[in-house]
Structure 1
């Protein structure tokens, strides 16, 4: 029975692994299978050790499990099957005096129990079929709950990473966008913020924590909140980055995690902004006459690369009347396009920006992202998260 079952293991009929050390009881199960209206493939092993070997290589639809094996007894046998493969349905086999144990096994995670010698073929087939269906329903419920929890976690992270601008009376138009990468179930570590301080200055931040996952997203939230606190406390410029690096080094889960960011400060009545850049990409400058150019400002290394040893220069950049600055994370231009290994790159992004140069702020940002996504469509979309911040002073 073991050899024939192994050869038929790929058949479309339900597969059943019988774990039973008694040859007579195994023969009874084989007869039940033969007489049952539910066609199934049966494979017989005599011990838990053999069952482990099979389950490590195959995933049957159901395990018929004797609770008195030479190397596993009682509820221990159920837990051992579940520890090897928790996706398989389990129906335990008990003796006449073992009904209480069978009920306990169901409470411990088995889908059903059968009493040896008291099972008709029709009941046997129904029990196996229902056990498989119950296990599938249980897995669907678990997947749904995980999906709901993931959606809730996304919402919490999004509130922390992507806040509402804190502005009083600044005469500036703001457009913000965030798009998750195609492979990310959770938000990544991209973040931004905009705050107006008591003297009327407008402060803007965009940043990106290396890597993906809940740890990186949580670190992005911590840096974003810390930055807003520093601004409201009157700490600006390169001093902000010193404090933020201290937080990153203290909070990061792994020593190789770093963060890039750009900070802008626009004082009221002045035709320029002060820029501090830590390993972050450049930005786009949109002029009132429809021009777009790439701007690179001197900066220092990303936060966390050389803890305590970095220097971040502060630079003033002229902003013509009616101009706009567009800040973004590298996911917007570092994705692969076409079928080869070519990336969009900075030149490619600038070309796309010039295609939508005459658009108003929101259509400009949306058009830029949509064009980048379209170029990466053949590869399934943009790999990395994308955050964009568009600021236009009136």
Structure 2
């Protein structure tokens, strides 16, 4: 092998390697196909199996670019063979091998899902070369189109879920700055069951909820949307505190059906006139209070998560004094359950506080974005969970 001299242009990229599976029970035909493949000039790896049953293991265990399929196998034949192969490898190019006497077999094979067909005894190297390349190209193009459509549908579904799980706050006269963020557990995942909402009451108090339905995916998201909408309706109807949580638990139990779902949440009422925050924690961790001196957890009493012990929950209220200027941050555990670096330690609340206090001061939105970015960098994708963050900033000076 010759290595190009420094500064010399690199040679052309190597031809692609085609991983080909030949399913053919006739040894003579199989040998002929292999000989013609060598004459095509293609770079290939050939695996031969004599039955569909034996081919299953190859398809399941390795990537295959092209399947050359005989229509008359010991365990399956005709278009049934094509349907079976397409079910096993829906995005792999399938080229059917037919006999000279099978005039209709080729067109029927194309209708059944094959990319192309070849007639045994009339296959030449140039024809096989061109057929394999075009069939693999078409199958890969189809795969890209399918993935693009899946991505488009995922984006659309996430947008619908986000409208339900992260709605626009209802603010009338409040001067509190509301910052909220929601991210799914992985880049391509649907949003899960975390939910956030903020509503200003007729008395000027600001009411907020941050919740997390156990589990991931559409079931958890559906229950999360339901609880978030129920919370907003109940708040506007005047329900508060433990009574509100009791009603939300009843709704959760009704909506989850047979699914073993439960929900943690924090209810927060911010009263700027009285400089207090009233908290009800249902299986949720304490919020964080940011002042000029730094950020710390707000000590609060705890109650049980919704749906764990129906009708037995008690959710005591905690009234916390607030400074004239500050911020409260409520978050779901997707922010703290990730790893704290290269080791095996979880970030946890203490690690989160250390990280927050090390960040430079900036506006609330940029601060929350930086915080999420830093926690995700530390976690490095090792733990996946949805995360929601709500930050409320006020200045009553």
TM-score (norm 2): 0.85
Q: Specify the alignment match of 1:335 in structure 2.
A: 338
Unaligned segments of structure 2, at least 5 residues: 1-15
| Cα gap change, 1:158 to 1:381, in 2 (>3 Å) | farther
Q: Specify the alignment match of 2:390 in structure 1.
A: 389
Matches within 5 A, 1:220-235: 220-235=224-239
Whether the 8 Å CA contact 1:271–1:320 is kept in 2: the answer is yes
Whether the 8 Å CA contact 1:48–1:72 is kept in 2: the answer is yes
- Aligned positions, number: 380
Whether the 8 Å CA contact 1:92–1:105 is kept in 2: the answer is yes
Q: Specify the alignment match of 1:4 in structure 2.
A: none
| Cα gap change, 1:367 to 1:148, in 2 (>3 Å) | closer
1:348 aligns with 2:351: yes
Shift of 1:218: 2.4
Shift of 1:237: 1.5
| Cα gap change, 1:57 to 1:171, in 2 (>3 Å) | closer
Shift of 1:391: 1.7
1:139 aligns with 2:143: yes
Provide, for residues 230-252 of structure 1, a one-character-per-residue CA deviation record: whole Å limited to 9, x for no partner.
Answer: 11222221122112222222333
2:160 is aligned, of 156, 163, 176, to 156
Q: Specify the alignment match of 1:125 in structure 2.
A: 129
Provide, for residues 304-356 of structure 1, a one-character-per-residue CA deviation record: whole Å limited to 9, x for no partner.
Answer: 21122211123322223334322122222332112222222222323333345
Distance 2:310 2:142 in 1: 49
| Cα gap change, 1:367 to 1:57, in 2 (>3 Å) | closer
SS at match of 1:275: strand
Shift of 1:281: 0.9
Distance 2:43 2:326 in 1: 74
Matches within 5 A, 1:41-60: 41-60=45-64
TM-score (norm 1): 0.86
Distance 1:361 1:124 in 2: 63
Shift of 1:90: 1.0
Distance 1:390 1:319 in 2: 14
SS at match of 1:68: coil
Q: Specify the alignment match of 1:6 in structure 2.
A: none
Whether the 8 Å CA contact 1:286–1:357 is kept in 2: the answer is no
Which deviates further from its counterpart, 218-227 or 113-122?
113-122
Provide, for residues 46-95 of structure 1, a one-character-per-residue CA deviation record: whole Å limited to 9, x for no partner.
Answer: 33333334434444322221212232121101011122333432111222
Whether the 8 Å CA contact 1:196–1:202 is kept in 2: the answer is yes
Distance 1:141 1:177 in 2: 31
Whether the 8 Å CA contact 1:290–1:357 is kept in 2: the answer is no
Shift of 1:20: 2.6
Distance 1:149 1:384 in 2: 21
User: RMSD across aligned C-alpha pairs, in angstroms?
Assistant: 2.7
| Cα gap change, 1:253 to 1:187, in 2 (>3 Å) | farther
SS at match of 2:104: helix
SS at match of 2:329: strand
Distance 2:52 2:360 in 1: 69
Q: Specify the alignment match of 1:201 in structure 2.
A: 205
